[in-house]
Structure 1
Amino acid sequence: MPDNPRVLARLTLFLCLMWLATTPSVADDCPDWSRPAAQNAIDTLGQRLAEWSNAYYRDGKRLVDDATYDQAQRHYHQWQACFDIQAAETPPPPPAGSTLRHPYPLTGLNKLDDLAALTDWMTRRQERSLWVQPKVDGVAVTLVYEAGELTRVISRGDDLRGQNWYSKAQIIAAIPKQLPAPAPPQVTLQGELYLRLKDHIQAESGSAGARSAIAGLMARNTLTADAGANIGLFVWGWPDGPRDIETRLSRLADWDLTDSARFSEAVDSTQAVAKARQRWYREPAPFATDGVVIRQSHRPDQTSASREAAPTPPDWAIAWKHPSRSAHALVTGVDFTVGRTGRITPVLELQPVELDDREITRVSLGSLNRWQKEDIRPGDQIIVQLAGGIIPHFEQTLVRIQPRPAVSPPDPAAYDALSCLQLTNGCREQFLARLTWLSGDQGLDMPGISEGSWAALIDAGLVRRLNDWQTIEEKELRELPGVGEARATQWLDAFHPTDGWRLSTWLEALGMPPAANDSLTPTTELASLQARSIQDWQRLQGIGPITAQELHAFFQHPEIQRLLKASLDRS
């Protein structure tokens, strides 16, 4: 979420336009939309951005995480430039109720995209000492002390003016009401009110609603003592204080504002910053964070003119957010994969986005029913998240492209657990999945034989049935592109092991439906399995009517019978 919506929006648009004007491959990043479709998509995304911004600044609610907002805003400006479509700028809502002016504007920070950007930023400051701090995820506040006494407490508001929180601050024990003497005539502190958490791990729990919880507490008419005790204060700015960070941290610690010194450290390399970022992301912490802040030890003097200027992010400090846990993504296509059992899985092709420092280009919808319910088409804009911190998954649709492009999924009636036992029209995908399963460790366990190996054999016309590989000769393998003498020998050894395979292994490899342990023993013969009726299968413990029907159909299928007879004859 932008720390300064008005200025950052103008700056982002300017930078995007400059980048687009100087990048030869920009057309590759522009969606293939008609002008009406582009207008609708951009307008609708603009409305979503306004909703998110209003909720953040007016209600203290984060509807999406910062990375998703930043990505959506970049896409918004990029697509505006692609189609030469401009929208009226929507200013942030003013703070509710009576307001006070901040002595110094809350400027926010520019953000780094990656480690390379950090390296560039630090290289330009190689003669200056640098410090890193956690970017505490809370609610920004300004504290004003006069002659050592707390006189004003101002919420962030629109960065220039905010609500008067003085009375609520009296209940928050973390906010000193009096600075020990001797104190400067006026002290202006900028910081973050945060929710105290125990052993919070950002990578696992995200922000855990910490910021919204603080915003909710501060929105109440009164604070209870228990609520006030659960609020901490991290001071990150002292605009009218000492220019060097070491002195600032020491003085703050003297005033019992110890978080700043405790959680700040000097750094001299990008590796040190990256290590600190990972630590705040993956190790226990007393508060939620959304990244780290890197600062020059000495900052420029905050002149009186800077008090009146529009809030502008400084160049002597910068933020590096945590890896994205969710992302705003453009769907570029919808692919349908057919698995070994005939299950159809829709997969959304995405314009590349970054999640947890990984590039994501595809996300599965899990089932055809899910796709039919969500009705996602190329050109739609969605949010994707990481499930369990590892697997990307679809979260929600934000914008539906208009008009809706046609998408033709496979006919589910054409695929089941016994379809595509041979390579016929429309069967390549399921047939290839069957072969890959057959050679895997759950099947015949053929070392060195992968999906790519089977694809090469299929493309060469050497495999059209599930056991054609048993009759392939070495000469045929050696003639395949990329398969020399050594690999051909390896493949033949995998196809013809010394000991062969038992019946139970063949049944697993060919996809026999799962059955109870006592339904198949080492002495069980194929003929007896084929002779079992549905009722015979169902009499076995642990086999219900549906599984009994599946097992009967498997053993009665002509191609399964042929494969088992031919394979066992050769074993």
Structure 2
Amino acid sequence: MWKRRGLALGLTIWSCYSTAACPSWSPFRAQLEIARLQRQVIQWNAAYWREGSSGVSDAVYDRLSDRLAQWQRCFMPQPQPDLSAPPVSGSVLHPVMHTGVRKLADKYALKRWMSDRRDIWVQPKVDGVAVTLVYRNGQLVQAISRGDGRKGESWTEKVRLIPSLPKRLAGPLANSVLQGEIYLARDGHIQQRTGGVNARAKVAGALMQRENSPLLNELALFVWAWPDGPAVMEKRLTLLSEAGFSTSARFSLPVKNADEVETIRTRWFTSPLPFVTDGVVIRRAKEPEGKRWRPGEGEWVVAWKYPPVEQVAEVMNIRFATGRSGKIAVVAELEPVQLDDKTVRRVNLGSVRRWHELDIAPGDQVQVSLAGQGIPRIDRVIWRTLARDKPEPPPAHFNALTCFYASPECLPQFFARLVWLSSKRVLDIPGLGDAGWRLLHQTHRFEHIFSWLALTRQQLESTPGLSAARGRQIWHQFNLARERPFIRWVMALGLPLTQTALRLSSDSSWSKFTERNELSWQQLPGVGAEKARQLVAFVHHPLVHSLTAWLAAQGIKGF
């Protein structure tokens, strides 16, 4: 709403990059990396101010600008100029300067801000382009872009072409200065569902183009400040509404505490609105005289933004995880970023092949968002470092028939098998994840994935790292696992067949599986010729035969 690129002016409470560690680069590499990113930021910034769009979202732009500033602090002793500031092309003085708005980190920061203030109001943080309107003797005589807060460009001719904007005012507003946001009018926009739809860039583009854009017909104004207007907010809003700025009055609500702000913020985030928003603005009704307003000094107004739908994070490391079927998954470990209510530290990139296609290396800056069910994902690489120091993936010689036994080279897949079989959908042994299985194996040295069935109560109670009570609990859970249905034990073994297909097979013993040929396997859903060959090979494999014989000796039903 108030903030434009390059005009932070210290308005943000704290940048998450301010505490980031400096890269361990040589001076020569630091010079190269900084120069590359500096050129890109300048290019994005120039495109934004010339055309209203730079090809990346404001969130991405802001984060990489912050990253550049951090690198400069690390490797350059002298303060560097603000590259993201708008070009010094605006020459029209604002009659009342734009203060900008300080962003609060969370509800607790808002509580502190509100603690010693009264007569507080909340407004939506409309996502558009900030402007000053000057009315003299009832006529719209000036429309000035936000610029640097002190000076901007004349948008008067373009703004006069916006049909929804009053060209003549009477009464107290006949000679007034208004500050507000020119926004793209929307029909029932739900921020949570649709996001920003690039509304700000569209508005900026329509106002900056030399030609008259048809989009001007879809623009409107949200007035968020009337410097030196009536001291009483209710009176101020009534007069604005009577003058044609009814949206401002409709969406300016009094609040008593941070809980009320949070309720309204949530409602506006999830409900249909006539504009795009990126948070809420909380302001005190009482304001200083307009002549005292200065960029970065509006202590009577703050913003609480919505949780970002995307973040930019640095890749700290690439590691490889071998799954129970032997497939190698690539995991990107990231600097922690907050998305919605989740702190994201790692993202599964999928297979080694997909990782190579994405071309992600430590030090790269990636865009992260949440997919369905809140699962973090990397959407794209925003910035790649010069040095592509990629780790070497492990050899891909593991498969569904390897690592039933605990040989040294097999431990990753071996423990993945144990974690799988103890999961709720299989044998349901709660509380035994990777760390728990490793602790048991460290003492009892499992031979294969079912060796734990032979552990006695006394052995588990005396396991280092476990209390006697926890040992008894695990022993009890192991005994309960013995009674799980036969199909669950087949799943624990790792037969490459879905649970649905297993149930439809109606086979109640392992011998029934061994009697099946490829054709009979293909009668089950999801099983083609190749899968049928894999199933036949699996059930007749010598290692599987040894394990099923061991389960039979342990009294597991069906074996």
Q: TM-score range by the shorter chain?
A: 0.7 to 0.9
Output the amino acid matched with 2:204: A
Percentage identity across paired residues of the two chains:
37
TM alignment of 1:429-468, pairs within 5 A: 429-468=412-451
2 CA distance for matches of 1:209 and 1:271? 30
| Pairwise CA distance, 1:518 | 8.4
Cα pair distance change 1:428/1:493, threshold 3 Å: same
1:143 to 115, 120, 133: 133
Structure 2 residue aligned with 1:349: 333
Higher mean alpha-carbon deviation, 132-141 vs 488-497, is at: 488-497
2:197 to 188, 205, 208: 208
Structure 2: runs of 5+ lacking an equivalent: none
TM alignment of 1:325-404, pairs within 5 A: 325-388=309-372, 390-404=374-388
| Pairwise CA distance, 1:392 | 1.9
Alignment TM-score, normalising by the size of structure 2: 0.88
Deviations 1:422-460 (A, max 9, x none): 122232222122112212233223355444432321222
| Pairwise CA distance, 1:520 | 6.2
Q: What is the SS of the residue equivalent to 1:420?
A: coil
TM alignment of 1:31-430, pairs within 5 A: 31-61=23-53, 63-84=55-76, 87-90=80-83, 92-94=85-87, 100-123=92-115, 126-180=116-170, 182-184=171-173, 186-218=175-207, 219=209, 221-224=211-214, 227-228=215-216, 230-303=218-291, 311-388=295-372, 390-412=374-396, 414-430=397-413
Cα pair distance change 1:428/1:291, threshold 3 Å: same
1 CA distance for matches of 2:328 and 2:436? 23
Deviations 1:331-358 (A, max 9, x none): 2111111111222221111222222253
Structure 1: runs of 5+ lacking an equivalent: 21-25
Cα pair distance change 1:280/1:553, threshold 3 Å: same
Structure 2 residue aligned with 1:23: none
Output the amino acid matched with 1:491: I
| Pairwise CA distance, 1:261 | 1.6
| Pairwise CA distance, 1:223 | 4.9
2 CA distance for matches of 1:538 and 1:564? 23
1 CA distance for matches of 2:305 and 2:187? 22
Q: What is the SS of the residue equivalent to 2:193?
A: helix
Q: Is the 8 A contact 2:190 2:270 kept in 1?
A: yes
Deviations 1:400-428 (A, max 9, x none): 2333324121122x222222211222322
Cα pair distance change 1:290/1:389, threshold 3 Å: farther
Q: Is the 8 A contact 1:243 1:300 kept in 2?
A: no
Output the amino acid matched with 2:142: R
Higher mean alpha-carbon deviation, 360-369 vs 103-112, is at: 103-112
Output the amino acid matched with 1:382: V
Alignment TM-score, normalising by the size of structure 1: 0.86
Q: 4+ residue runs of structure 1 moved beyond 6 angstroms?
A: 12-16
Deviations 1:501-548 (A, max 9, x none): 444332122121126848964455433432444455446675312101
| Pairwise CA distance, 1:3 | 2.6
Q: Is the 8 A contact 1:131 1:294 kept in 2?
A: yes
2 CA distance for matches of 1:215 and 1:330? 30
Output the amino acid matched with 2:83: T
Q: What is the SS of the residue equivalent to 1:565?
A: helix
Cα pair distance change 1:210/1:453, threshold 3 Å: same
Q: What is the SS of the residue equivalent to 2:429?
A: coil
1 CA distance for matches of 2:33 and 2:206? 37
Deviations 1:200-254 (A, max 9, x none): 2222221122223333443372355xx5553222101222423443332222122
1 CA distance for matches of 2:121 and 2:316? 42
1:469 to 449, 452, 474: 452
1:562 to 546, 549, 552: 546
